[in-house]
């Protein structure tokens, strides 16, 4: 049984989709959760209310992870509210898909700044309090696109591959203080975005997945909760694929 009782977590991009599922799973396992959101205040309030209904404390902090000051602010708010941060989940991410020859410089920059730079900023912000505590769990949400590359996603694939490198460097750098850093790499997952895909494309993606279906946000969240727990104390620098066998490495 994964027990996160007494733990305090920060999740970036926690108001919707995979992020929301992670917030709720950590709370269900006993953690108090602070999460950032960029703009959808209604979704953030609903997620916070769901956490409180579970019986845990919730803190929704508005901010854009591409701003280092915003990353520091969510960490400072969590420390002020909870007193410590035991778990960081870097989940915030966007897509701006296009072929390389048509991709705008802005589309390239926005995805790298959100998906990779944002994770670095938040990791940097939690490092000092975790080092002082001599413990901590950092979990980064990467993607199969970062492992295998994806047509039309040069920006996203590059950012997610960079996140794997960041995970491994963080793991090596912080291991001596009992802090672990791991990544979860989802494949095709049922979210608001994938629900709108054309039927033919959905069928193709399912056919490419050995287990023959899309994953669920809850399955991704379960993997995150495991890596955030004491059960995973001897696991660091690893990438756990939650992809139905799509990428086998």
Q: Is 156 a catalytic residue?
A: yes
Please give the torsion angle defined by the CA atoms of residues 52, 54, 60 and 66, in that order, rounded to the nearest 10 degrees.
180
CA distances to 109, 116, 118, 138, 148 from 156, in Å: 10, 9, 13, 21, 12
160: nearest Cα among 124, 184, 181, 176: 184
Q: Give the containing element (helix H, strand E) for 78.
A: helix 68-82
User: For residues 71 and 61, is the Cβ–Cβ distance under 8 A?
Assistant: no
How many residues are listed for the chain in this entry? 249
Task: Using alpha carbons only, give the angle 67, 71, 77 rounded to the nearest 5 degrees.
Answer: 135
Task: Please tell me what DSSP assigns to residue 67.
Answer: S
181: nearest Cα among 223, 130, 224, 139: 139
Q: Which two tokens stand for residue 181?
A: 């850093």
User: For residues 249 and 183, is the Cβ–Cβ distance under 8 A?
Assistant: no
Active-site residue, from 156, 188, 214, 226: 156
User: For residues 71 and 92, is the Cβ–Cβ distance under 8 A?
Assistant: no
Q: Where are the beta strands (DSSP E) in the chain?
A: 8-11, 32-37, 58-62, 87-90, 136-141, 179-186, 239-242
The set of catalytic residues is: 156
């Amino acid at each position: 049984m994964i027990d996160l009782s007494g733990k305090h977590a920060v999740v970036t991009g926690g108001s919707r989709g995979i992020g929301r599922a992670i917030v709720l799973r950590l709370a269900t396992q006993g953690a108090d959760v602070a999460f950032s959101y960029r703009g959808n205040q209604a979704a953030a309030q609903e997620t916070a209310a769901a956490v409180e209904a579970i019986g845990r404390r919730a803190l929704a902090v508005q901010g854009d992870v591409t701003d280092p000051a915003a990353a520091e602010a969510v960490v400072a708010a969590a420390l002020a509210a909870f007193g410590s941060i035991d778990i960081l989940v870097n989940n915030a991410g966007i897509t701006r898909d296009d072929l390389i020859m048509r991709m705008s410089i802005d589309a390239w920059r926005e995805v790298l700044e959100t998906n990779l730079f944002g994770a670095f900023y938040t990791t940097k912000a939690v490092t000092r309090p975790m080092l002082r505590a001599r413990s901590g769990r950092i979990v980064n949400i990467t993607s199969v696109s970062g492992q295998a590359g994806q047509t039309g996603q040069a920006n996203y694939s590059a950012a997610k591959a960079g996140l794997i490198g960041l995970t491994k460097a963080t793991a090596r750098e912080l291991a001596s203080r009992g802090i672990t850093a791991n990544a979860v790499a989802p494949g095709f997952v049922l979210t608001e975005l994938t629900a709108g895909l054309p039927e033919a494309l959905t069928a193709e993606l399912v056919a490419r997945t050995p287990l023959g279906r899309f994953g669920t946000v809850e399955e991704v969240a379960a993997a995150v909760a495991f890596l955030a727990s004491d059960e995973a104390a001897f696991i660091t620098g690893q990438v756990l694929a939650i992809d139905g066998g799509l990428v086998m490495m």
